[in-house]
């Protein structure tokens, strides 16, 4: 996930019309640990354009239909329309996947 967040952060630097945020799904028992990890990620990777947040609901909002076995889910909207959805099980997200996600940016930017 770190590579994806860094890549998106760099894309926002190039195109300020693009907006993104990371939501880490967690439970209340893990909140302090997750906050520490998110702060570490932001500092370690120099994330400046992507807010790193958390939601105290391990399943996420029901309308997002996040797969139970997904470690990373990427949702991309243009205005209110979901334009792309990518889900990855633990350890699946790789460089080729990040490139495929970034290739969907024109759907969001209207290019």
pLDDT in tens, 37-92: 999 999 999 999 999 999 988 888 888 888 888 999 999 998 888 899 999 999 99
- Kindly report the backbone phi and psi dihedral angles of residue 14, in degrees, each rounded to the nearest multiple of 5, phi listed first: -80, -30
Q: Tell me the β-bridge partners of 25.
A: 55
Strands 70-78 and 22-25: unpaired
CA angle 94, 98, 104 (to 5 degrees): 150
Domain boundaries, the chain: 2-109
Strands 81-89 and 70-78: antiparallel
* Residue 108 CB coordination number (10 Å): 19
Q: Quote the pTM value.
A: 0.84
């Amino acid at each position: 996930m770190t590579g994806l967040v860094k890549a998106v952060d760099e894309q926002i630097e190039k195109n300020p019309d693009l907006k993104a945020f990371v939501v880490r799904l967690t439970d209340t028992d893990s909140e302090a640990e997750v906050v520490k990890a998110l702060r570490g990620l932001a500092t370690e990777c120099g994330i400046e354009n992507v807010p790193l947040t958390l939601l105290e609901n391990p399943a996420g909002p029901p309308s997002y239909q996040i797969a139970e076995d997904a470690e990373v889910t990427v949702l991309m909207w243009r205005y209110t329309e979901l334009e792309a959805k990518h889900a990855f099980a633990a350890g699946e997200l790789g460089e080729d996947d990040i490139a495929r996600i970034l290739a969907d940016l024109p759907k969001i930017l209207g290019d």
